[in-house]
Amino acid sequence: MSDGLPAGTIVVDERTDRVGEVMGAEGPYVQLRPLRGGREWDADSARVRIATPAERLSMALAEANAASSAAYDLSRWKAYLR
């Protein structure tokens, strides 16, 4: 379904059930990158679809949670968490 998806489009690789951003296309494959960065992977263009609003929201929440967890240092609360 990826016919002509522009770079930056948020999609789902239905083979792996991963959400990624379109980086480009080469032959029958679309190059996708995880939204929070990381290693790109090739997906079969026939198995890629545009992410739903719910999937995009879920990824945005996961990013916000990861950022807040990284910024919040629990080590100072260890004594209280025992």
The DSSP 8-state label assigned to residue 51 in this structure reads P
pLDDT at 53: 93
Arithmetic mean of pLDDT, 27-31: 95
Tally of domains in the chain = 1
Is 18 inside any structural domain? yes
Q: Is residue 80 in some structural domain?
A: no
pLDDT band at residue 71, thresholds of 50, 70 and 90?
A: low
Mean pLDDT for 55-61 is: 87
Rounded-to-integer distance, Cα 56 and Cα 80, Å: 36
Residue 39 has pLDDT above 50, yes or no: yes
Residue-level pLDDT at 80: 47
Domain residues for the domain of 17 are 10-69
40 inside domain = yes
Asked whether residue 5 is assigned to any structural domain, the reply reads no
**pLDDT band (50, 70, 90) for residue 58:** confident
Residue 2 lies in a domain: no
Query: Would you mind telling me the total number of residues written for the chain in this entry?
Result: 82
In a domain, 44, yes or no: yes
Decide if 4 is inside a domain.
no
